[in-house]
Amino acid sequence: MSGMRTLLLYGILFVLLTLSFVRNQWGVVETSWFYKHQLYAESLVFGRIVKANQDGFFSSGMLPGWVGPVPESEEVKYWQYEAYKDDLPFETYEPYRSHPSWHVAAFVFLDAVSPFSKERNIPVFHLVNSMMLACTLLLFVGLVAREIGKAAGILVFLSILFSPWITVFSWNSWWVLWAYFVPFFACWYLVRGGAPALKRVALWIFAAALFKCVMTGYEYVTTAYGMMLVPMAYFAAKDRWGWGAWTKRVFTAAGVSVVATLVSMAILVTENASESGSLRTGVDHIVETVARRAYGSDTAKYTNFPGPKAQKMIESLEASTWETVVPYFGGVAYDFSEMLGPAFSWTKAPFGAVVLLALALTLATFFTGRLREDRRAVAMAAAVWWGFVSSISWLVLFKAHSHVHYHINYIVWHLPFVMFVFAQLGCVLQGAMANRRAPDSETRERRAS
């Protein structure tokens, strides 16, 4: 395909994704869910912009948060949008202390330089975020198409376009989903030419991990780090690095990722200290947050939480890992009934079905002679299962968080397990078609002789 045709094709795909992300153009999800998903989280962005506009860019340590007091007739999340659009004065600020939120600082800057009204800025921010994600995911599609083949690229694109979870997260100014993929691309570039020197691994992975933490905080951090190393699993298997070379680079990457996380936490502690006047406040908050989201045992401290939240927190800590994680396999990965009507409710496919598809494709790879000899097919199987472990790592390690966040945590399946399964499907289909063509060519050769 010529350069101009390729550019035109990706331009069309970009428009298709952007329209889906910014306005649910293709009806992938229910309208109310699309426009209301995670407004509570996004309101932190606009609360922060209001705070910065009144008190300065570095006020309250640059931490996101909510302005107040909120009128009794209003909800906190909706009031942040009103305060932003109408440039309302405020008296109090409640910071969200768990997130460095440098991406929020970027939106503060965009607001400052924007020629549009405050009301118009909100959809502009959503458009910018949607376009960034569309570009990011199309880069992923392009890498798959170039490495595996066009069929794999097409299937990955369709898996993105029709994903309800990617769609509802796509536009949200808090989540900036595109930033989760930047470390993945950094690692892909690093390892595509062979096993890199350990110093290069340390430098690139440190920078990528630090970028993830300061931009998107620690949400799904284990999944993001695992996703970052999927290219290493793929190219190590494809290019036959050997166990020694692969292990050294994985452990180097893991070590510098921990260091990058600690550096980002030092930044977060400094931000909290700037707001509260005490370094201890930031340290205590990080320790308490990790315990609350993972396997903390001190449930008594949560009895003072307001309303039913206390009971939810206690239940999340007391629940077993098994009972917490299993429901995530039953969540809806794809559902075409919203687009095509109730008659197509049978099209609902759970994430467990995607896992079974990956298992079937992997078995086909290792029990089919031609596929077993194809290094790309074998490497794709390795990447898929590394991606699987990466996706569920957050659900397991941060069990308490997963127990109370069934409304959002399904997104981890797409970081990047589901997309790699569809790439694997394309790889196996291409191998099967090549396998069918091979006997035909052999028959023609025998006839010619």
Q: Which DSSP string corresponds to 141-199?
A: HHHHHHHT-HHHHHHHHHHHHT-HHHHHHHT-TTT-GGGGGHHHHHHHHHHTTSS--HH
Residue 192 lies in a domain: yes
pLDDT of residue 199: 93
The domain of 330 spans 3-34+123-437
Tokens of 95: 């910071």
Distance CA 262, CA 267 (A): 9
Euclidean distance between CA atoms 131 and 14, whole angstroms = 8
Q: Does residue 309 lie in a domain region?
A: yes
In a domain, 255, yes or no: yes
Encoded amino acid at 442, one letter: E
pLDDT at 306: 60
pLDDT at 47: 97
Contacts for 108 with CB less than 8 Å, ≥ 6 apart:
48, 49, 52, 57
Give the model confidence (pLDDT) of 112-161 as tens digits. 999 999 999 999 999 999 999 999 999 999 999 999 999 999 999 999 99
Residue 112 falls inside a structural domain: no
Q: Return the exposure string of 48-82: e unless at least 16 CB atoms fall within 10 Å of the residue's CB, then b.
A: bbbbbbeeeeebbbbbbbbbbebeeeeeebebbbe
Distance of alpha carbon 266 from the chain centroid: 24
The answer to whether position 305 is within a domain reads yes
- pLDDT single digits (tens) 252-276: 999 999 999 999 999 999 999 988 8
Q: What is the pLDDT of residue 299?
A: 55
**Contact yes or no for 282/97 (Cβ under 8 A):** yes
Residue at 16 is within a domain: yes
**Model's pTM, two decimal places?**
0.92
Flag whether 68 is in a domain: no
Q: Note whether residue 218 is domain-resident.
A: yes
pLDDT under 50 in the chain at which residues?
443, 445-449
Q: What is the pLDDT of residue 227?
A: 96
Q: What is the pLDDT of residue 293?
A: 83
Tell me what pLDDT residue 440 has: 53
Distance between CA atoms of 116 and 122, rounded to whole angstroms? 10
**What is the tally of structural domains in the chain?**
1
pLDDT for 307 equals 61
- 92 DSSP β-pair partners: 68
Q: Are 181 and 234 in contact (CB under 8 A)?
A: no
Beta carbons of 237 and 382 less than 8 angstroms apart: yes
The mean predicted confidence, pLDDT, of the chain is 91
Q: What is the pLDDT of residue 148?
A: 94
pLDDT at 139: 97
